[in-house]
Amino acid sequence: MPATKKKKDEYPMLDAGEYVGVVTKADFATSSNNNAMIKTSILVPFPEITSEDVAFVHDNIMLIESCAWRLPQIAAAVGCKPEQLLKTLKGTVVKITVSVESHVEYGEKNVIQKWEAATDDDKEAFKNREGSAKGGASDEDAKGALDAILGSIPTATSEVSSEDIPF
């Protein structure tokens, strides 16, 4: 079943517990305190992998000494060395333990307490989940986008006017 597409504000909060999700975003960023971090988003279908309802859980993996204890745990969950996290996170199916915390500025939010490696069964279920491996796009949408991009690239046999050559 495809993931239900909703506006960001419409994604529900998850109850505290263990969930399986796929990392959809893993970008290097700098915090407001000028600290290096990896901003992640994890798509979590609930109450089970085949559910149409989804939520997103976000985690800023701070790359500072006081938070370094998290890096080996997250790397083990992803199946890589800590120095490979940024390159490996996106697209990886993981098991996360989520809690709900109140924040003065943001209100209630989901927080990842623990990252773990997903089981082979969980990975297989995500692989078979319609659209999950393609970022939610249907095969038809993906093919249309690919065709559009490839169609815009001139081929070696295309005629190019001498006026279009920049030298």
What is the residue-wise DSSP string for 135-156? TT--HHHHHHHHHHHHHTSPPT
pLDDT at 114: 96
- Which tokens belong to 66? 């006081």
Lowest mean pLDDT among 33-37, 69-73, 139-143, 155-159: 155-159
Number of domains, the chain: 1
CATH number of the structural domain spanning residue 65: 2.40.50.140
User: How many angstroms separate the Cα of 51 from the Cα of each of 17, 43, 45, 117?
Assistant: 17, 12, 6, 21
134: containing domain: 8-151
Over 90: is that where the pLDDT of 142 sits? no
pLDDT at 12: 87
81-140 confidence digits (pLDDT tens): 888 999 999 999 999 999 999 988 878 889 999 999 999 999 999 888 765 443 444 455
Structural domain includes residue 1 = no
CA dihedral (20, 25, 31, 34) positive or negative = positive
Question: Are 1 and 129 a contacting pair, CB within 8 Å?
Answer: yes
Structural domain includes residue 20 = yes
pLDDT at 128: 85
pLDDT band at 71 (very low <50, low <70, confident <90, very high): very high
User: How many angstroms separate the Cα of 139 from the Cα of each of 51, 133, 143?
Assistant: 19, 10, 6
Looking at residues 9-25, what average pLDDT do you find?
88
pLDDT at 117: 97
- Which tokens belong to 124? 């297989």
pLDDT at 147: 53
- The overall pTM is greater than 0.85: no
Residues in the chain: 167
